[in-house]
Amino acid sequence: MSRTINILPENLANKIAAGEVIQRPASAVKELVENSIDAGATTITIIIKDGGKGLIEVIDDGRGMCPEDAAIAFERHSTSKISSFEDLETIRTLGFRGEALASIASISQVELRTREASADVGTKVRIDGGIKIEISEETASVGTMIAVKNLFHNTPARRKFLKNTNTEFKHIYDVIQRIAISRPQLELKFVSNDETIAHFRRAPLAQRLKDVFGEKQSGALFDFGEETEFVAINGFLGKPDFARKGRIEQFLFLNNRYIVNRGIQHAVFQAYENLLEKGSFPFFILFLTIDPRRVDVNVHPSKLEVKFDDEQSMYRFVLSAVRKTLTEHDLVPSVGLRGDASADIGMALRHISGQTGGTHRAENWWKSPSSARVPAGAGFAGVNNSGDEIVGNTVPSSQMESIPKESPYSKSSIWQIHNKYIMVPIENGLMIVDQHAAHERVIYEHVQAMFSSGEKESQQLLFPHTIEMSPGYAALVNQLLPDMEKMGFSIKMFGKTTVIVDGVPNDVRPGAEGTILQDMLNLYKQEEQDLKLEPRERLAKSFSCRAAIKAGAPLNQAEMCSLLDQLFATQIPYVCPHGRPVIVRLALSELDRRFGRTS
Ligand code: ADP
Ligand code: MG
């Protein structure tokens, strides 16, 4: 039998490997700039032509290379960054695989000039398609300059897949943007077709973000940080009304390396879940810092993916850190508004017309701990039962201290339109509240509180309701029984399909006691395909939706005030549990603008 296995010549092996490391001009830019950063550069200039297809030149003021290193830097597996397996475990540099330069050189024409500070003269190396054609002494400034021409010129299949110049340019810009965000201490200059596209000077991170995203966009971010023994997280989160339709503006850095990690991205998304409109994604910039031994960055040659030793803990850590930050901030989705629309709800409430109460209390009272909150739903049950005006008297006196005696709403100036929305004048405009969504939010948080505290609030029914169910529904009741009891339902099964309800949660409207269970289960079933949701979460959502007052229900003044009081006692008053906005603010400045007023 004749031999069929060949060892590939190094040059060909490099070309094949190049396909994984260098997919497009932007990957070459990334690798070259990362090398400059690893070499301790403080200033890096990137010059490209034709979206990097014609030329990519990276110039740094890093430590440079001695002639011997310059001669082998383009060999495969040549690296100064690790020398043993142990080093790989504790990697702190961006590069370590020793294949970027070899890959780039195998598919382009490369010229390198480099000099170390201690040397009088520099070194020049020229390579074409992986073949060294020149090594010589050459005058050079301290640092390294690498020019890459005609990338993919000898791999026509790959070249064919390149996108047009604009697209490739955009990819390169993205790479530079990520580096600019993660290294504010680095001066970065980017020139494309002789035009200076960006020049980021050294700056503190907040200033760098302004330079990268502009004043307006960076103003819509708030910073946060959280730390445990093993991992630290810090960064900037976008306000919910700043969310995007795609995931493009999500910046995740692990130990200052830009990475893509679906788990962590999902954790952030999850934390925002109830704050975002459907189909939009949060803007965020996150820096995770973790002991390099607890993460593997050597998953793929592009080093974009990483593996954590404990993915689940990371997920939970990020989720809770982001969620905590979001609840601590006042987040009003100022849908479709401009001008001072981002002014927070605290300001808005403080200036509710007619309000004279203490400013400080008005600003903070709804943030008081749950024990001091108005019992959700009680107001509505109270109003409908007795017909009395109940603002204030639904609140047990022991809980009164932290709630201003005087309602922050001027009763006479609140009104309802189309039996659907509540209009609340505020000093700098108008706040419009969706009554159903608002009540949903109130009940939802109430149910969550019952789940976590174990203290249920239930109303015993004088006349128990007997419901005949299909076997499927009866089985569901059986399965959900423990959680439903925690919510305040009192249910007994009789035979296989007979369900007797003799107690329902306080939040159930008078008259709805007999139908609420079936209504809630119907919705629960409908949303069953949403596998992400825990059964409890789905129960809370289904119940709050079905128990909440509907659009179309007329409300009197007292009911509206009570609802608003309860809404602003919730943790996140601005969106309903399904992600729809609860409040829309119409700023006076917006009205002035539309009416062409200048003052
Ligand atoms: P890696 O970065 O994984 O080590 P590369 O192929 O990217 O592999 O680079 C090979 C080696 O060349 C590096 O380890 C480094 O020693 C040297 N090198 C590359 N670029 C520079 C630079 N800009 N300044 C100084 N040394 C560099
Ligand atoms: Mg490298």
| Predicted local confidence at residue 411, as pLDDT | 62
What's phi and psi for 234, nearest 5 deg?
A: -150, 165
Number of C-beta neighbours around residue 400 at 10 A: 12
- Residue 225 parent element (H or E): strand 221-227
What is the residue-wise DSSP string for 297-317?
Answer: -TTSTT----EETTHHHHHHH
Which class would CATH give 10-204?
alpha beta
CATH code of domain 220-328:
3.30.230.10
- Find out whether 244 and 281 touch, Cβ atoms under 8 Å: yes
- Residue 45 parent element (H or E): strand 43-49
Which is the closest atom of ligand 1 to the Cα of 103? 6
Q: Where are the domains of the chain?
A: 10-204, 220-328, 331-441+551-594, 458-505+510-547
Please identify every residue whose CB atom is under 5 Å from ligand 2, which is an ion.
Answer: 35, 95, 100
* Shortest-distance ligand to the CA of residue 97: 1
Q: Which two tokens stand for residue 149?
A: 């021409």
Dist. CA 207 → ligand 2 center (Å): 28
Strand order in the sheet with 498-505: 458-468, 498-505, 490-494
Ligand 1 site, CB within 6 A: 31, 35-36, 39, 60, 62-65, 73, 78-81, 95-102, 144
N residues, the chain: 599
Residue 496 C-alpha from the chain's centroid: 46
pLDDT in tens, 113-160: 999 999 999 999 999 998 999 999 999 999 999 999 999 998 888 888
User: Which of 101, 145, 257, 302 to probe ligand 1 with, by most ligand atoms within 8 A of CB?
Assistant: 101
Dist. CA 98 → ligand 1 center (Å): 7
Q: 337-341 contacts: CB < 8 A, separation 24 or more?
A: 337/584, 337/585, 337/586, 337/587, 337/590, 338/587, 338/589, 338/590, 338/593, 339/587, 339/589, 339/590, 339/593, 340/428, 340/587, 340/589, 341/241, 341/585, 341/587, 341/590
- The architecture (CATH level 2) of 331-441+551-594 comes to 2-Layer Sandwich (3.30)
pLDDT in tens, 230-264: 889 999 998 876 777 666 688 999 999 999 888 89
Which amino acid, residue 31?
A: E
pLDDT band at residue 599 using 50, 70 and 90 as cut-offs: low
Q: Whose CA is nearest to atom 13 of ligand 1?
A: 79
* Shortest-distance ligand to the CA of residue 140: 1
What mean pLDDT is predicted for residues 488-507?
Answer: 92
CA distance 541 to 391: 26
**What percent of the chain lies above the pLDDT cut of 70?**
84
H-type helices in 252-406, by residue range?
A: 262-272, 311-328, 345-350, 359-364, 378-386
User: Which of 20, 72, 79, 303 to probe ligand 1 with, by most ligand atoms within 8 A of CB?
Assistant: 79
- Find out whether 500 and 464 touch, Cβ atoms under 8 Å: yes
pLDDT in tens, 416-452: 999 999 999 877 788 899 999 999 999 999 999 999 9
pLDDT in tens, 297-346: 877 777 788 888 888 888 888 988 888 888 777 554 433 323 332 333 33
CATH code of domain 458-505+510-547:
3.30.1370.100
